[in-house]
Amino acid sequence: MTMNKLNCLLLALALVGCSSEKSSEGSKPDAFEFSYTIDTVQVDPGDHFIYLQQNLGSSDITPDGKYLLNFNAKTIEMEIVDLDELKLSSVVKLEQEGPNGIGTSPYFGAYRALSTDEFMFASQNKVIKMDLTTNQATYYSFKRSDLSPDALAANEELKNGGLLSSDGSIFYSWYGIQEKPYENHGLAKIDLGSLEVKVIPIPQMDKLDQFTIEVAMSDGTGMRGKFGENITLLELEDKIIIQQSAFNEFWVLDKATLEVTVKANKSNLTENVKAGNFANKVTSQDAFKEARNARDKEVSFGNLILDSERNMIWRISSDFDHMDGEKMVRNYYLTFFDLDLNQLGEYQLENWMMAGKPFIKDGDFYQFLNLEDDMAFVRLKPNFGND
């Protein structure tokens, strides 16, 4: 075992047995009792090297929670991990070209595992549904000529990223101005059966501009770009929840009416909005690094994770604690919401770390951990007093 791997393992093992009896200071005082323990589990890859370069960003959990399907963009394979046995179950080789190919640039913005046999990919202009047992592909094209007339303005286009519905029938794609690839104005609801498109403006997204760092290098390289807040989508039965990392609030899209409302939250453990004390425009690498470091010291609200067993939503947020040399140490906070997005309780976590895509299985919270190029998970086992 290398020294780096040993250090990672010692850090992970230091979490085992940690518990918290903290009560919620920013919500209903008698919502529920909460404590937890933490351990670390590792996946046996056999003789295969599991693809971890995207921190499981190209993966999804099957609806029964038993398998993780991880798309390997390097080898064009689907890696199927048995989460009950914590081992690699199988690897399915996918076609890159031909009538069932996924394309020569297989990088997608949304993924959905319908089962261990069916997996969906979505990019800027197409969705692919793969039958992993037969390697047969079904394609849905989003070329402008294929979409319903006047769905988008002449200068608008669909962007990469979004959300595939749980039944695989709808794709909620980001859209925006063609000349501004880093800006999204809203969502386009695309029916994959009819290719009918309904455009859903989200004016609240303009509020995020104040926290965006625009890069325009003056060193002759011509490098340009924008680095904004993290935005994710969670599907509930009758709504889509838009979660962003700058404000302690949800933007709620009603699936039936396509109207967007704001659900504000209040925390007593963190600030409720980023302060924005960093430069919004930079022209050098040093200035960009300084701005990123300053922004990283401010509060950040994490992804929403559905706990369907308890009919709750989990969210882990963080803020700055101190610097340990050049390493930034952050505080982490776990907040629970009911399915109407009412806050139930918030708790500070001890000895926590964030490292990739989380999910809930059998009532436990799994946080991906890259253990020196091996797949592992930090597992938080909650106790709500009435479990």
127 vs 355 pLDDT, higher one? 127
What is the residue extent of each domain of the chain? 94-200
Whole-number pLDDT of residue 387: 58
> Which sign, positive or negative, has the C-alpha torsion 369, 370, 372, 373?
positive
Within a 10 A sphere around the Cβ of 248, how many other Cβ atoms? Answer: 20
181 vs 14 pLDDT, higher one? 181
Angle (CA) 73 77 80, round 5°: 115
Q: Which two tokens stand for residue 306?
A: 């559905």
pLDDT, average across residues 307-313 = 95
pLDDT > 60? residue 21: no
Q: Which two tokens stand for residue 314?
A: 């989990």
The pTM assigned to this predicted structure is: 0.88
Q: CB of 223 within 8 A of CB of 291?
A: no
* Backbone angle region of 222, left / alpha / beta, with phi > 0 → left and psi within -120 to 50 → alpha: left
Pairing type for strands 260-264 and 281-282 reads unpaired
pLDDT > 60? residue 8: no
pLDDT > 50? residue 26: no
Task: Give me the residue label for tokens 């190029």.
Answer: 373
What confidence category does residue 293 fall into, taking pLDDT thresholds of 50, 70 and 90?
very high
Percent of residues, the chain, with pLDDT higher than 70: 90
Average pLDDT, the chain: 88
Q: 302: which strand partners?
A: none
Whole-number pLDDT of residue 31: 62
What confidence category does residue 2 fall into, taking pLDDT thresholds of 50, 70 and 90?
very low
pLDDT in tens, 104-148: 877 899 999 999 999 999 998 899 999 999 999 999 988 877 888
Whole-number pLDDT of residue 22: 37
pLDDT, average across residues 178-187 = 82
pLDDT > 80? residue 68: yes
What confidence category does residue 149 fall into, taking pLDDT thresholds of 50, 70 and 90?
confident
pLDDT > 50? residue 207: yes
At a CB cut-off of 8 Å and minimum separation 6, what does 237 contact? Answer: none
Within a 10 A sphere around the Cβ of 357, how many other Cβ atoms? Answer: 19
Phi and psi at residue 159, in whole multiples of 5°? -110, 170
Q: For residue 382, with 0-12 CB atoms within 10 Å meaning exposed, 13-18 middle and 19 or more buried, which class applies?
A: buried
The DSSP output letter for 221 is S
Whole-number pLDDT of residue 220: 66
Nearest Cα to Cα of residue 28 among 386, 344, 347, 335: 344
pLDDT, average across residues 301-313 = 95
pLDDT > 50? residue 18: no
